[in-house]
Amino acid sequence: MKISTINYKLLLALLFILASWITFTIFLNSTKLWSALKLSSSLHYWDNSTKSLFPRTPLIPLKSLTETELRIKEIMEKLDQQIPPRPFDHIKTTSSAAHSTTTILNPRDTYCRGDQLDILLEMRDHLGHRKQYGGDFLRARMSSPALMAGASGKVTDFNNGTYLISFTLFWEGQVSLSLLLIHSSEAVSALWRARNQGYDRVIFIGQFVNGTSQVHSECGLILNTSAELCQYMDNRDQEGFYCMRPQHIPCAALTHMYSKNKQVSYLSKQEKSLFERSNVGVEIMEKFNTISVSKCNKETVAMKEKCKLGMAATIPSGYVWRNTWNPVSCRLARVEMKECLRGKFIHLMGDSTIRQWMEYFKASINTLKSVDLHESGKLRHQLAVDLDRNINIQWQKHCYPLIGSMTYSVKEIEYLTRAIDRTGGEKNTIVVISLGQHFRPFPIDVFIRRALNVHKAVQHLLLRSPDTLVIIKTENIREMYNDAERFSDFHGYIQYLTIKDIFQDLSVSIVDAWDITIAYGTNNVHPPQHVVRNQINILLNYIC
Q: Are residues 468 and 397 in the same domain?
A: yes
Q: Are residues 236 and 288 in the same domain?
A: no
Q: Are residues 366 and 480 in the same domain?
A: yes
Residue 297, pLDDT score: 76
Q: Are residues 212 and 286 in the same domain?
A: no
Averaged pLDDT for residues 89-106: 96
- The verdict on residue 53 lying in a domain is no
Element of type H or E holding 541 = helix 529-543
Q: Are residues 358 and 423 in the same domain?
A: yes
Residue 15, pLDDT score: 58
- The verdict on residue 79 lying in a domain is no
Distance CA(206)–CA(196), nearest Å, equals: 24
Q: Is the pLDDT of residue 515 over 90?
A: yes
**Backbone Cα Rg of the chain:** 30
Residue 18, pLDDT score: 57
pLDDT confidence band for 64 (50 / 70 / 90): low
Residue 22, pLDDT score: 52
Residue 50, pLDDT score: 29
- The verdict on residue 38 lying in a domain is no
Task: Classify strands 345-350 and 429-434 as parallel, antiparallel or unpaired.
Answer: parallel
Q: Are residues 519 and 439 in the same domain?
A: yes
Residue 35, pLDDT score: 38
Q: Are residues 428 and 472 in the same domain?
A: yes
Tell me if 495 sits within 8 A of 472, measured CB to CB.
Answer: no
Residue 152, pLDDT score: 98
Distance CA(284)–CA(287), nearest Å, equals: 8
Q: Are residues 430 and 464 in the same domain?
A: yes
Q: Is the pLDDT of residue 37 over 60?
A: no
Averaged pLDDT for residues 7-11: 54
Q: Is the pLDDT of residue 525 over 90?
A: yes
- The verdict on residue 11 lying in a domain is no
Residue 300, pLDDT score: 65
**Domain of residue 149, CATH code:** 2.60.40.10
Query: Could you list the residue range(s) of the whole structural domain that residue 459 is in?
Result: 318-543
- The verdict on residue 330 lying in a domain is yes
Mean pLDDT for the chain?
Answer: 88
Q: Are residues 160 and 253 in the same domain?
A: no
Q: Are residues 231 and 288 in the same domain?
A: no
Averaged pLDDT for residues 406-428: 93
- The verdict on residue 307 lying in a domain is no
- The verdict on residue 95 lying in a domain is yes
Q: Is the pLDDT of residue 17 over 80?
A: no
pLDDT confidence band for 473 (50 / 70 / 90): very high
Looking at the chain, the whole-number percentage of residues with pLDDT higher than 70 is: 87
How does DSSP assign 431-494, residue by residue? EEEE--GGGTTS-HHHHHHHHHHHHHHHHHHHHH-TT-EEEEE-PPP--TTS-HHHH-HHHHHH
For the chain, the farthest-separated pair of C-alpha atoms sits apart, in whole angstroms, at: 128
Q: Is the pLDDT of residue 63 over 70?
A: no
Q: Are residues 288 and 324 in the same domain?
A: no
Of residues 296 and 431, the one with the higher pLDDT is 431
Of residues 377 and 400, the one with the higher pLDDT is 400
**Region for 483 from its dihedrals, namely left if φ exceeds 0, alpha if ψ lies in -120 to 50, beta otherwise:** left
Averaged pLDDT for residues 350-378: 93
Q: Is the pLDDT of residue 210 over 80?
A: yes
- Between the two ends of the chain, the Cα-to-Cα distance in Å is 107
- Model confidence over 490-504: pLDDT tens digits? 999 999 999 999 999
Overall number of domains in the chain:
3
Distance CA(402)–CA(259), nearest Å, equals: 8
- Model confidence over 140-170: pLDDT tens digits? 999 999 999 999 999 999 999 999 999 999 9
Residue 309, pLDDT score: 79
**Final residue in a domain of this structure, among 216, 237, 261:** 261
- The verdict on residue 272 lying in a domain is no
Task: Classify strands 291-294 and 111-112 as parallel, antiparallel or unpaired.
Answer: parallel
Averaged pLDDT for residues 234-253: 94
Q: Is the pLDDT of residue 186 over 70?
A: yes
Residue 9, pLDDT score: 55
Q: Are residues 329 and 289 in the same domain?
A: no
- Model confidence over 265-295: pLDDT tens digits? 999 999 999 999 999 999 999 888 899 999 9
Residue 377, pLDDT score: 76
- CA torsion sign for 283, 285, 288, 292 is negative
Q: Is the pLDDT of residue 55 over 60?
A: no
